[in-house]
Amino acid sequence: MKKSIIALILFFSTGIAFSQTTVTLQDQCNCEVLKGTAVSSPGAITPNGVDMGDIYVNTNTGTIYFWDGDSWELTSADDQQLTGFNFDGATNTLTLTLENGGSVNVDLSSLSDSLTDTNTIITSFGIDATNTNLVITDSDTNTYAVALADIAALIDTNITGASLDAPSNVLTISEGTTDVTVDLSDLDDSAGVAANASDIATNTADIATNTSDIATNTSNIATNTSDIATNTTDIATNTADIATNTADIATNTSDIATNTADIATNTTDIAANTSDIATNTSDIATNTSDIATNTSDIATNTTNIATNTAGIATNTTNIATNTADIATNTSDIATNTSDIATNTTDIAANTSDIATNTSDIATNTSDIATNASDIATNASDIATNTADIATNTADIATNTSDIATNTTNIATNTTDIAANTTDIATNTSGIATNASDIATNTSDIATNTSDIATNATDIANHIAADGDTDAGNEYNTSLGLNGTVLELVDGGGTLSDDLDAVFATDAELLAATDDDITGASLDAPSNVLTISEGTTDVTVDLSDLDDSAGVAA
């Protein structure tokens, strides 16, 4: 095998190996690497305060600048071309020379053999009939085939920019002349935030209403407490009044029982008195008749006595005067003796009548005394009854007043109970409203929690879908490539071929012409999404998708 072919194979193999190697610029050039969009063209003087040789990477275009002491200028390493590679047969060292100076030496001693090279040069290269290999032909008509897929791996158009259209939430990622869009609307929670804002406004109104209801309830509770205290006092008063009324009723009942007994006794006494009065009336009538009779008899007796006295006087005169007439008068004396006998009988009869009258008077006096006693007893009973009736009347008046008070208290209590019932109903309605509002808030919080979880899942899925988790994948440059033109330089000059036509007609090559995205990370504080492809990082500010402030509000 010709050493030039071996060198070419080593070149491609080395290029393939380089595409998988991560190089940290700070370690290689002892410089500080900055990135952003502030430097977009050569000659920029900000940001300043940096050291000679510091590097700045524009994250929109992928262009690299270096600080020359006064301004940011394009770095010569941005598009350096491989100008040639030489092989030292004495040391078996392959030297690769870059366009702007510098070289890389590769010791190929392990590949040395007995073959000799007579300055063979590459005369042409092209694509085979199957469009799968690059065929390189040297001046000795030797050929070497390199898989176009391997070459495609060296030709990576890096991401040159990314932007987010806030109204539509469409993320546009630019790579070379190709734009790829991603609809991030699923990450936009503005509608949820707006709904939450509406719910929060509703909740705020409900809270205000609840606060008013709570104030009203507090006032109602205070009123109820006062009413309950008043009712308790009224109930205590009513209880005392009822106890007093009960005692009064018991006393009245006892008095009524006593009065009833007294009335029964009085009725009996009155009946007895009535009978006694009737008897007395009859006795008095009889006594009156007897007295009248006695009076008449006494009058008659008195007349008779007077007559007798006159007659005795006359007789005495006549006896004294008419001693002579005694004989004459003996008849008269006999007559007088008969009259005296008659008078004696009459006197005896009068005496019996007087005794009877005296007994009747004594009986009447006893009856009158009894009646007077009964009347006195009746008067006492009537006085007692009158006092009891007065007491009963006072007790009834007190009871009537107490009943009126109780009726008023019961009416007040009924009103208070109705008010309390209304307040309790209001409180119950307020509590129901609060419970409904709390349920709504709980549902809203649950919805927000679910939305946040969905967003977190969507972001995680989005990051996972990138398929590139290599945070160390940095921007790489390929030697021997000028855009899509492959250039090979050897002692015979520079050979080149534009591979666009090949890639455009071969699906396998087309699929292999681009590196996959190697990583994506979101900086939570700044909401900046960094997308890495190869050695290129592109950042997108996703702040417009951040609804954390709205969610927090």
Q: In this predicted structure, what is the pLDDT of residue 37?
A: 93
pLDDT one-digit tens code per residue, 89-121 = 778 887 877 666 567 777 777 766 555 555 667
pLDDT one-digit tens code per residue, 443-456 = 888 887 888 788 77
Q: Are 56 and 66 in contact (CB under 8 A)?
A: yes
- Domain limits, the chain: 1-30+80-158+477-515, 193-437
C-alpha to C-alpha distances, 324 to 309, 318, 328, nearest whole angstrom: 22, 9, 7
Q: In this predicted structure, what is the pLDDT of residue 16?
A: 41
Q: In this predicted structure, what is the pLDDT of residue 518?
A: 75
Q: In this predicted structure, what is the pLDDT of residue 515?
A: 58
Q: In this predicted structure, what is the pLDDT of residue 39?
A: 93
Which residues in 128-251 belong to E strands, given as ranges? 133-138, 143-147, 159-165, 170-175, 178-183
Closest CA to 385 of 553, 528, 266, 244: 266
Which residues in 99-229 belong to E strands, given as ranges? 103-107, 122-127, 133-138, 143-147, 159-165, 170-175, 178-183
Q: In this predicted structure, what is the pLDDT of residue 472?
A: 37
Q: In this predicted structure, what is the pLDDT of residue 294?
A: 76
10 Å CB burial of residue 344 (0-12, 13-18, 19+) is exposed
Closest CA to 180 of 194, 188, 170, 169: 170
* Main-chain dihedrals φ then ψ at residue 514, nearest 5 degrees: -135, 140
Please enumerate in sequence order all residues whose Cβ is within 8 A of that of 112, keeping only pairs 6 or more positions apart, or say none: 92
Q: In this predicted structure, what is the pLDDT of residue 256?
A: 80
* CA 395 from centroid of its chain's CA atoms: 57
Three-class SS string for 276-326?
A: HHHHHHHHHHHHHHHHHHHHHHHHHHHHHHHHHHHHHHHHHHHHHHCHHHH
Q: Are 4 and 120 in contact (CB under 8 A)?
A: yes
Q: In this predicted structure, what is the pLDDT of residue 462?
A: 57
Integer Cα distance of 165 and 544 in angstroms: 9
Q: pLDDT tens for the chain, 553 residues: list them.
A: 444 444 444 444 444 444 444 556 555 566 788 899 999 989 999 998 888 888 889 999 888 888 899 999 987 544 555 666 677 877 888 787 766 656 777 777 776 655 555 566 778 878 888 888 888 888 888 888 888 877 766 555 567 788 888 778 888 888 767 788 877 777 766 777 777 777 878 888 888 888 888 888 888 888 888 888 888 888 888 888 888 888 888 888 888 888 888 888 878 887 887 888 788 778 878 877 887 887 788 778 778 777 877 777 776 777 577 677 657 667 876 887 788 788 778 878 877 886 776 788 678 778 768 877 887 888 888 888 888 988 988 898 898 889 899 889 889 988 888 888 888 888 788 788 877 888 887 888 888 788 878 877 876 675 666 444 443 333 223 335 566 666 666 555 666 666 665 556 655 555 555 556 778 888 878 888 888 876 788 888 888 777 777 777 7
Integer Cα distance of 65 and 488 in angstroms: 27
Q: In this predicted structure, what is the pLDDT of residue 507?
A: 57
Q: In this predicted structure, what is the pLDDT of residue 77?
A: 47
**Strand-pair partners of 133:** 147
